[in-house]
Amino acid sequence: EVQLVESGGGLVQPGGSLRLSCAASGFTFSSYTMNWVRQAPGKGLESVSAVTESGGDTFHSDSVKGRFTISRDNSKNTLYLQMNNLRADDTALYYCTKGHRRDGYSHWGQGTLVTVSS
Amino acid sequence: DIQMTQSPSSLSASLGDRVTITCRASQSITSYLNWYHQKPGKAPELLIYAASNLQSGVPSRFSGSGSGTDFTLTISSLQPEDFATYYCQQSYSNPPTFGGGTKVEIK
């Protein structure tokens, strides 16, 4: 059974940093593109970042480019999102998702909540 | 970025009803369109990928159609577990943008 378990969320002040993690199991992690998608409270879905199977190629949305960095450790079956210079509008539930966008995101974690507030 | 517009933003329907949700892209995305639904307090789930392909394990009452800029998700006979918010997502280019959602409620 595929499992994606996010962690690392919490309350942080504007300008602060957090690192999210997503522990994957139940599939060959190194064979899949992985992604972060976020959802602000009561709002819709927004693609944040994606990383290819090897980690060699990454994508970041314009809203987080230069502040967030996606990475992965295939030896640990873990996906990361380093979030720096956080802003109030980064407040959201952050989901880890499996799969290339062309195939659809077939599995989602339960999400980890990031709250940016003073 | 490619903009995705869903309609309606919400609808009320009864059990057994046929429900149709539309999604329009701001430019052609050929058939690169995915559909998800999200139940309250839960993560989204993939229903349809590449416009018309049913994800494994998804009931056959769900179907998708369309190409270019106009797409449709149809639920042939609404069931209790289908009351949720539905999102389309273009997968043609980065960033893979989502529509604003369609909330399906009980009439």
Write the residue in A44, A104, A110 that is nearest to B46 by C-beta.
Answer: A104
Query: Which chain B positions have a beta carbon within 8 Å of A61's beta carbon?
Result: 95
A88, A63 contact by CB (below 8 A): no
* pLDDT one-digit tens code per residue, B34-87: 999 999 999 999 999 999 999 999 999 999 999 999 999 999 999 999 999 999
B106 falls in which pLDDT band (50, 70, 90)? confident
The span from the CA of A81 to the CA of B15, in Å, is: 41
Identify the DSSP state of B29.
-
User: Residue A54 has which token pair?
Assistant: 């090897």
Q: Is B89's CB within 8 Å of A61's CB?
A: no
> What pLDDT does B36 receive?
98
β-bridge pairing A34-39 and A45-51: antiparallel
Q: Is B89's CB within 8 Å of A44's CB?
A: no
The span from the CA of A90 to the CA of A88, in Å, is: 5
> What pLDDT does B68 receive?
98
A40, A94 contact by CB (below 8 A): no
Q: Is A101's CB within 8 Å of B89's CB?
A: yes
Residue with tokens 């329907």: B13
Paired strand residues for A4: A24
Among candidate residues B65, B60, B62, the one with its CA nearest the CA of residue B23? B65
CA distance A50 to chain B (A): 9
> What pLDDT does A32 receive?
97
* pLDDT one-digit tens code per residue, A65-107: 999 999 999 999 999 999 999 999 999 999 999 999 999 999 9
Q: Is B91's CB within 8 Å of A101's CB?
A: yes
> What pLDDT does A117 receive?
97
User: What single string gives the DSSP state of each residue in chain A?
Assistant: --EEEEE--EEE-TT--EEEEEEEESS-GGGS-EEEEEE-TTS-EEEEEEE-TTS--EEE-TTTTTTEEEEEETTTTEEEEEE-S--GGG-EEEEEEES-GGG---EE---EEEEE--
Beta-carbon contacts of A65 under 8 Å, excluding residues fewer than 6 positions away, are: none
